[in-house]
Structure 1
Amino acid sequence: MSTRLNGAQPYALGLFRFVIGLIFAIHGASSLFGLFGGREPEVGAWPGWYAALIQLVCGTLVALGLGTRIAAFLASGSMAYAYFVVHQPEALTPVGNGGEASALFCWAFLLLVFTGPGAGAVDRLLGARSERGSAEESRREPATAVPA
């Protein structure tokens, strides 16, 4: 049983990455463009507009699995900032200060920083192509210089 579960781990991680990234991107789109009942911040307003932009961009990158570790690191940091600067001064615990989503997103993205994107990531597809190209290059005979 554990062998089957271990074999499914990259796929479960890939699904986790996709869902977390998608929800984060939707949250950013909601905040940035007023979609899904969100309120649009004034363009360039600190920190709301920048936070929404980070959520949209990093969430999309994480969902696609493109630059996952870097995007997840930025997303995690933005959520840590949101928790400690916006929510934590209101009350000590996330339940009391409304910071549950910020705390959960922060830890979920931090997990992706250390685990990587899992299966189905664009990075892995691009990496497989470049590895195939490198393997084909190394199989070719090196060009010899023709004396003039």
Structure 2
Amino acid sequence: MRLSADTAKPHVLALFRVVTGLLFACHGAASLFGVLGGAAGTHGGTLPAGAWPGWYAAVIQFIGGVLVVLGLGTRAAALISSGSMAYAYFSVHAKLALWPLQNGGEPAALYSWAFLLLAVTGPGAWALDGIFSAARRRRPAAPAEAGSPA
């Protein structure tokens, strides 16, 4: 097998998906469960359940990140995650200064664009979505029951 950019693309995309999703999920886990240093600004604690918008963002980060890592519902999870980070950038960071370097919004901007890329390109190789869809394609169609209209 000859290695080329075209044959490597789905595997590199999968690595990108797994790393991006894992980092995102860790950020959400820190805010929700107080692990890995806890929520930013809470000195190692957690965000109060239902607190707007932080707790909801953390839920999206954790669940969206896990789904993206697994490659399960990748496009939808990535689109929601991208929108969440775009919201965070424009509602929090952009008010402070024009450029992400000045307003501390680099992670939000990068996550927003990275997840938008995954929403458009799909999960790449090694995704549960691919495994489930391949299994569905291999499964024969169920025969029509006797006496039922065709």
Same fold (TM over 0.5): yes
Match of 2:113 in 1: 107
Pairwise CA distance, 1:137: 3.5
Is 1:49 the counterpart of 2:51 in the alignment? Answer: no
Letter in 2 for 1:73: L
Letter in 2 for 1:14: A
Q: Aligned to 1:119, which of 116, 121, 125?
A: 125
**TM-score, normalized by length of structure 2?**
0.88
CA distance in 1, matches of 2:145, 2:70: 42
Match of 1:21 in 2: 21
Q: Which has the higher helix share?
A: 1
Q: Secondary structure at 1:44's aligned position in 2? A: coil
Q: Matched residues, percent identical?
A: 57
Compared CA separation, residues 137 and 99, structure 1 to 2 (3 A): same
Query: Number of aligned pairs?
Result: 140
CA distance in 1, matches of 2:6, 2:84: 32
Q: Which runs of 5+ in 2 are unaligned?
A: 40-45
Letter in 2 for 1:9: K
The list of structure 1 runs, each at least 4 consecutive aligned residues, that deviate by more than 6 angstroms after superposition, is none
**TM-score, normalized by length of structure 1?**
0.89
Higher radius of gyration, 1 or 2 = 1
Compared CA separation, residues 88 and 129, structure 1 to 2 (3 A): same
Q: Which runs of 5+ in 1 are unaligned?
A: none
> Which digits, 9 at most, give the CA deviation of each residue in 1:76-134, with x for residues without a partner?
0000000000111011100000000000000000001110000000000000000000x
Give the superposed CA RMSD: 1.8
CA distance in 2, matches of 1:101, 1:45: 21
CA distance in 2, matches of 1:95, 1:137: 55
Match of 1:11 in 2: 11
CA distance in 1, matches of 2:105, 2:144: 62
Compared CA separation, residues 109 and 143, structure 1 to 2 (3 A): closer
CA distance in 2, matches of 1:62, 1:113: 10
Is 1:37 the counterpart of 2:37 in the alignment? Answer: yes
Compared CA separation, residues 130 and 102, structure 1 to 2 (3 A): same
Match of 1:82 in 2: 88
> Which digits, 9 at most, give the CA deviation of each residue in 1:22-53, with x for residues without a partner?
10000000111111112311111001111000
